[in-house]
Amino acid sequence: MIVAGADGCRTGWVVCRRDADGTLDIRVVKTLADACEGLSILAVDMPIGLTDSPRPGRACEGEARKLLPGKASSVFPTPCRPALACTTYAHANATSKKLGAGLTQQTFHLFPKLREIDELLRRERKLRRIVHEAHPELAFARMNGGKPVLSKKRQPEGYAERRRLLAKHGFKTKVDRLPGAARDDILDAIAVCRTATLIAAGTAIRLGPASARDRHGLPMNIWY
């Protein structure tokens, strides 16, 4: 069984694939569709399933923040579907505000990747059994005995701490540089690849009710 984890990066997606023997293959691909071929499970650090208004928002996000004291801000609020249709930040923010709450520039920067995964899963229904939403900080917390890793992953000590956790759980690799990807993008892709192995094994934890679906039938759950 081949599983993988993916995280968005400047030039596409960093994908960490794990073969049945534990071998890791880490590379950058242009589209998420490129990452799906031959996989049993793909865990992605990107929201799947969008609400029609910003409040109350997705239940899985609230649950994730409660599990990450001191690191709750790493769970970005997902935009509502009407805002995602907007092409400028000003328009998206105004649309979201009108429906209950504005959105940040940081969230707006995710729009291209959000649209990509949304369109892919709406178009390719069979991929809904393969592609699952994950979150790297939840993955690291689970590796860390349920405690959030409070050090910053972009700082040397935070990066090293997370590499040690990955190695301890069978995800040791020398890859820390790839063209078009930041070092922390690679780290996060490996972390959610570990989540993919748990999903495949039936031991992952799902946040949000199994019945949570958006208007297009996409699940609104986070796995770790």
DSSP state at residue 73: G
- pTM (2 d.p.): 0.95
pLDDT attached to residue 140: 98
Parallel/antiparallel/unpaired status of strands 3-9 and 41-45: parallel
pLDDT digit string (tens) for 15-72?
A: 999 999 999 999 999 999 999 999 999 999 999 999 999 998 999 999 999 999 999 9
Residue holding tokens 């995964």? 117
pLDDT digit string (tens) for 177-219?
A: 999 999 999 999 999 999 999 999 999 999 999 999 999 999 9
- Rounded to whole angstroms, the Cα distance separating 77 from 103 reads 8
Parallel/antiparallel/unpaired status of strands 41-45 and 131-133: parallel
* Domain coordinates in residue numbering, the chain: 1-76+113-224
| Biggest distance spanned by C-alpha atoms of the chain | 51
Q: Is CATH 3.30.420 correct for 1-76+113-224? A: yes
Q: How confident is the model at residue 173 (pLDDT cuts 50, 70, 90)?
A: very high
